[in-house]
Structure 1
Amino acid sequence: MNSVFGSVFWLLVTLGVLVTFHEFGHYWVARRCGVKVLRFSVGFGKAIWKRIGKDGTEYQVAMIPLGGYVKMLDAREGEVDPALAGQEFTAKPVWQRIAIVAAGPGFNLIFTLFAFWLMFLVGKPDVAPVITAAPQSIAAEAGVRTGDRILSVDGHEMATWSDSMDAIANAMLGREPTALRVRGTDGGERLLTLPLQQLPAGQPIDQYFDKLGMKLAPLPAIAATVTPGDPAQQAGMQGGDKLVSVNGKPVADFDDFAQQVKRDAPKSPRFVIGIERAGQPMSLTVTAAWKSEEGRPKQWLIGIRPPQPEQALVRYGPVKAMQASLESTWISTTNTFNMIGKMLTGQASTKNLSGVIGIAQVANASASMGIGWFFSFLAMVSLSLAILNLMPIPVLDGGWLLYYLIELVKGSPVSERAMMAGQYVGLVMLFTLMGLAFYNDIHRFLPS
């Protein structure tokens, strides 16, 4: 699938699912509290589909898919038929209004648990956290060696590369020394300390990872598979051949081999490749071809693939998956609040924020990696929506909850004037946040 089309498609799927679930929370609780719902809308603006339900509610899908709303019978928006006065929103007790407003984020939290549960049930294909360290990096200073396997980060056991990097990313925000337990290629375990206090404050997380210098261990220089009919196979190369040199230059690993071919092919696509087969050295003359593969842009190829990295798949039965879902939701929630706190205090960069473009790209990438990854992505976005909506910003659910909690304490509603002032402040805050996220998305496309 084309990356732009795929990003748009999976963004629409993501927003459609999560917005519908969020608004259904408001709708369902409002109906249970006896409030008449006039309209249930997924999206804003002009309707592209609508119908009237048996309950009199107008259900619609609108043109702008960046949200949705549930319109209830509300005396603040016009005259209410006396016969329907008991179904009007503001006539309900304050605790019911609190329940209706909190239901949207609450249903997003429920969806988060469900999506994580599905992720653990079907499994999320990943690779084992076998690592190496770039020279003169923080990881190298900490004592990371090529082939080390991460066993735990800050005392929490790790089984996959992505989980390990998520844990380290969260530790980077605190910029404090972090314990890393690894098992070396000799089978011995070591306890290392990543000196993350050396990271400068306020930089984006990708720059922190560059300074950390921890990467997946390089793949060995072996032609694991040779594509029939391609230059390497025509020259006599076979699957399992060890790649020793390119035009007399030694090869350290498969990436080094690929980089040498990519660098030298424009000068001359004809290579003398030294290999080792069954312990015997051999030389093959291979002429690279300028071609496209699997829809990607044209490049110099000889038709070999590296060995697959060690795979890691975490998959549980229904009961264990629910326990893991609860743990993941709790950890993700605390990590999100930790990041928000660090950004508010200036310890973490606001460049870590992503907007619609960033979400669309991640949606497409996660969908292409498999259903388990997409469930994980949905869970994280749903949790983020729940937390964002609970922030005490007027125009968001959290702002209305703040008004109703004040009413609960003082015994009377917040004045209409105070509410209007809060709405203006809230709109400014919200548009500022959206603008910053959009700027970050655009800035990532620009050359550094």
Structure 2
Amino acid sequence: MSLDEATVGLLRRLAPQLLGTLVRRHGDFTRAEDAVQEALVAAVERWPRDGVPEHPSAWLHTVAARRYVDQVRTETARTHRERAMLDATPRDALVAPPPDAEPHRDDLLELFLLCCHPALPPPAQLALTLRAVGGLTTAEVAAAFLVSEKTMGQRISRAKQRLRDAEARFELPPQEEQGRRLAVVRQVLYLMFNEGYSASNGPDLRRAELTQQALRLTRRLRDRLPHDGETAGLLALMLLTESRAATRVGPDGELVPLAEQDRSRWDRVAIESGRALVTQSLAASPPGPYQVQAAIAAVHAEAPRAQDTDWPQVLALYQLLDRLAPNPVATLSRAVALGMVHGPAAGLALLAEVDSGLLAGHHRLHAVRAHLLESAGDRAAAVVAWRMAASLAGNDPERRHLLSQAAAAGDLNHNQV
């Protein structure tokens, strides 16, 4: 037996709260994160058999607190220092408190900023936060970074050890340091949302529980930082992107590309909320990468039909984004916009800039190339590119869509002979 989607979503919501409580109480992120992971494993093993407890948060808290105590006692015994440590540690610090012993606190910001500690290099900050706060598995984090699961597991273990060595404290850092850490926090939420919106692997195109988790955490972060323009921009981007979720998958589970989606079914409430957020944030602060991406999403949302899209405006925004935060993934989208405005040859020329970079073996690079080649009339080359993209795609609906594109381009090519 396995947990249903609602229960999985519940565990994802409760895990960061539980981690924050343990770290605040004990001050040891490494042991606390391990204890939370063990509690989640216990829930996955026992809840399908015994049922979800009446108070799931209290159940998890009790199990995690006991696991934490077990870790401390085991480690101290192993190093022959158990008696000294127990004598020096208040007894109630090694006992699981009642679930209502402490008033509820929102530890999200402190937990995010702890994971983004300057003792860690930026990639390790991202990886640790995605794993500990975002709830992604090591494999999912590895896919987001385009590295192997083994490499990512080692990176996360080293990050936790560095936090311990640095004696990182669970508190808000000095004001001058918060901005740097917040940039990583936003990127974590962005990557979490992207993994949910387009799963890196598996039978489904999207994982709704991850996008909802990212949206929930971003809303909470904006509540803590109501005047931060980039946090507002990130929330706007998520809302505008998620507004199309119901139309991305057809009745048979097939992927429906943006140009073919039924725009009358887009979530207008989410669109208006996202547009208002990005408009307000751009008026109040200089543009940042997330605000610009949200503005691009708003341009797509404003077009009643795909052919009504203001592609020159989209291209101008991507050019601004490239100046603010050069990124190979954004370059792929800029190549599409460039092809729409100046012709597919211009888009193909831009792709040459990322051919040998991180995206060299990524399916989206080949998919964009296939689209541009087909637009240029070179359908034979497009078929090869579509098939290459399909061979590299991680999730099944994307793979099927790319193969169908290859078949369609091949039929057109055959009919022309």
Same fold (TM over 0.5): no
Query: What TM-score results when the alignment is normalised by the length of structure 1?
Result: 0.21
Query: What TM-score results when the alignment is normalised by the length of structure 2?
Result: 0.22
Q: Which has the higher contact order (CA 8 A, sep 6+)?
A: 1
